[in-house]
Amino acid sequence: MVPGESRTALVRRARRINAELGELYPDAHCELDHADPLQLLVATVLSAQSTDRRVNTVTPVLFARYPDAAALAAADRAELEQLITPTGFFRAKTDALLKLGAALVERFGGQVPGRLEDLVTLPGVGRKTANVVLTDGFGVPGITTDTHLIRLSRRFGWTDQVKPEAIEAEVGALFPKADWIRLNHRVIWHGRRRCHARRPACGACPVARLCPAFGEGPTDPAVAAKLVREPRG
């Protein structure tokens, strides 16, 4: 949080950042390719310790081979491992997907549930993954506390919390629910493209004047411009 900043000033600054990120990334969206909530859920599980681009290289074949939860539950382990090897940690992810498919069949009729309290009971699905599925699979407003949103919300002074659920609550309180899904995408895109964990491109950031963490990365525009990644998978 910014010392001495009133609640009103914080809300105004946060919403201004969101608006300017919207101008910078007018097409911000979920970068995991998917056609339905099940595909999004599977892709999100695969994205752990991987990149969206890498996941997107394996999911077309994966989704064609296992088009529904029943097919996923009955998958041959060796074949599934081979298909998802490029995403890393393929043995653990294979185990998670097999259990996930079985749980969906046994408890939800093969359908991905559309409630947070149900999603988090599925194998390998935590609150962050559940919010990804709810927001981008069902259009349910939520704050997705992935690594980028956590990092940027703290840099922006929107919160000083460290636990994802606390960050989710504090950040969500700054914006109307109608803005939450777009906010997720904008902040994540900014974290991937400019506000990196190491050496953020401060000198090439359009919201630098609104950011209390300005200076954590190079402030010289020419130096910072070389750190911008467009696009990043």
pLDDT recorded at residue 78: 97
Single out the residue of 121, 184, 123, 198 nearest to residue 153, CA to CA: 184
pLDDT recorded at residue 232: 44
Q: How far is 116 from 140, CA to CA, in rounded Å? A: 10
Q: How far is 33 from 44, CA to CA, in rounded Å? A: 10
Q: How far is 34 from 44, CA to CA, in rounded Å? A: 10
- State percent of the chain over pLDDT 70: 99
The amino acid occupying position 177 is K
Q: Over the chain, what is the mean pLDDT?
A: 96
What is the tens place of the pLDDT at every residue in 18-40? 999 999 999 999 999 999 999 99
At residue 149, does pLDDT exceed 80? yes
Residue 210: φ, ψ to 5°? -100, 0
Q: Could you say which of 52, 93, 128, 136 is catalytic?
A: 128
Q: How far apart are the first and last CA of the chain?
A: 30
Q: How far is 124 from 103, CA to CA, in rounded Å? A: 11
At residue 233, does pLDDT exceed 50? no
Query: For this structure, is 93 an active site residue?
Result: no
pLDDT recorded at residue 227: 97
Question: Measuring CA to CA, how many Å separate 159 from each of 93, 152, 163, 168, 209?
Answer: 32, 10, 11, 9, 18
Q: Could you say which of 95, 146, 160, 177 is catalytic?
A: 146
Report residue 99's pLDDT band, with 50, 70 and 90 as the boundaries.
Answer: very high
What is the tens place of the pLDDT at every residue in 107-142? 999 999 999 999 999 998 999 999 999 999 999 999
Instruction: Please give the CATH number for the structural domain made up of 7-28+143-225.
Output: 1.10.1670.10
Query: For this structure, is 99 an active site residue?
Result: no
Question: Measuring CA to CA, how many Å separate 144 from each of 52, 224, 225?
Answer: 16, 27, 28
Does the domain formed by 37-137 have CATH 3.40.720.10? no
At residue 2, does pLDDT exceed 90? no
Domain range list for the chain: 7-28+143-225, 37-137
pLDDT recorded at residue 231: 59
Core vs surface per residue 191-208: b (16+ CB within 10 A) or e: bbbbbbeeebbbbbbebb
Q: What does the block give as tokens for 23? A: 């101008």
